Structure 1
């Protein structure tokens, strides 16, 4: 590190939200790479990982309420919300509320504020795939582009299979279809968007068309070459480096 590098902001925490059918475990490698400069919190969202069902249901607002309560309990002075895929839509909904302490938003292959570009055939296929180990393996192979260690592959499929059916179905049928575009004018903190150029779920063009125009002017779209949809697993070094740079700018 050069002597002219800016020091890490004091007490800045990254609060990282996982993708649909995932868990907070996806952030383990990124968290280690950000330490000791930045703290990382990676809660499981209701109905996924080890989290119980959210008290208010499975809407974007219910998840946002759950997140707001979690943050209030943590009493964070300064934090960045990092949202991956489904977590991205929840991060946007939270930022639109302008909560105290929020200083930035980082979006990784985010679910757009508009309804996700999902065909009805894909939606029905995903609904039928619940709890199927073979389908979980096929899904992992479809949404990733870089080779992954066997232990990571097992973790991805395990998280898929331990999702609750209520949370699984609710996102496919309702959450992914919600439109929160009217709220995004209330986001007043710096934002950044990261995407893999081999993402088979949401290509970078989706973010450029559906999300970027609604974020603060000058929000960058960073492309990670050769990576698919699961950036924290596929490209932890690149993700951590971009988050580190973003955190230092705040």
Structure 2
């Protein structure tokens, strides 16, 4: 009997982050599962996306990446901004997609953000002091010095175009009408101390639009950066999800 094609987790990172955020989780999943964590256009070491900075342009970029890797069975792991991109791609029902795991996801609806917060975030680009403030605001559990430096470095190397495009446009896009086309199993994981996207946001804005029976799991004492703050819990959730969709 032929051996089943391995399941691959494809991590799509948060705004002002990079694929490197998933390293601690990936180490806990391999070699049982394959893990890929690309930098999205304009973030990390990635060049600007060829099609622009819309959610659909990023979904195109991910689809191209998946095809180039020859993936036959994979799960999208969408974190914050990456969650919205993952859902946009899932709604296209691409071949090989087996599920979507959402970590503190930006909702399919316009992201809840006040005008004051949006303005402050726009003005924070490229400023290390502001990056440090953001780090303190969006995390709740203690991090290693190395992790903190990685988070700051990712923040500061984000291109201005990618930074502004998400704040002004991507975060405001409304994909709610497409969510009925998401037909694969989904799961959501959120920290109960998330100051960016509280569990109630997921319960009100995202969960009702996903397939019936989608669970919302809560990590106690964690903030927004779950792969850094709770790698054990994230890996355990993904392993269980992988077994479910295998």
TM-score class, shorter-chain normalisation, is: over 0.9
How big is each residue's C-alpha offset from its partner over 1:104-156, in whole Å with a ceiling of 9 and x where there is no partner?
00000000000000000000000000000000011001000000000100000
Q: Secondary structure at the match of 1:213?
A: helix
Instruction: Name 1:22's counterpart in structure 2.
Output: 17
Tell me the TM-score normalized by structure 2. Answer: 0.98
SS at match of 1:201: coil
Corresponding residue number in structure 1 for 2:215: 220
Q: Output the CA distance in 1 between the equivalents of 2:51 and 2:142.
A: 38
- 1:203-244, CA deviations, whole angstroms, 9 ceiling, x for partnerless residues? 000000000000000000000000000000000000000000
**Which residue of structure 1 aligns with residue 187 of structure 2?**
192
Query: Which residue of the partner structure matches residue 235 of structure 1?
Result: 230
Residue 121 of structure 1 pairs with residue 126 of structure 2: no
Of 70, 85, 88 in structure 2, the residue corresponding to residue 90 of structure 1 is: 85
Query: How many Å apart are 1:26 and its aligned residue?
Result: 0.2
1:40 aligns with 2:35: yes
The whole-number CA distance in structure 2 between the counterparts of 1:93 and 1:170 is: 17
Structure 1 residues 9-158: aligned runs within 5 Å: 10-158=5-153
Q: Would you say 1:164 and 2:159 are equivalent positions?
A: yes
* Alignment-derived partner of residue 239 in structure 2: 244
Question: Structure 2: 5+ residue runs without aligned partners?
Answer: none
Structure 1: which 5+ runs fail to align? 1-8
Q: In structure 2, how many angstroms separate the alpha carbons of the residues matched to 1:143 and 1:82?
A: 19
Paired position in structure 2 for 1:176? 171
Instruction: Tell me how far 1:36 sits from its aligned partner.
Output: 1.2
Q: Distance in 1 between matches of 2:162 and 2:14?
A: 12
CA distance in 1, matches of 2:22, 2:9: 11
1:20 and 1:249 mapped to 2: Cα distance?
A: 29
SS at 1:135 equivalent: helix
TM-score by length of 1: 0.96
Assess if the C-alpha contact under 8 Å between 2:9 and 2:34 holds in 1. Answer: yes
Q: Distance in 2 between matches of 1:219 and 1:95?
A: 15
The question of whether the paired residues in 1 share the 8 Å contact of 2:7 and 2:33 is answered with yes
8 Å Cα contact 2:5/2:72 also seen in 1 = no
Cα deviation for residue 10 of structure 1 reads 4.5
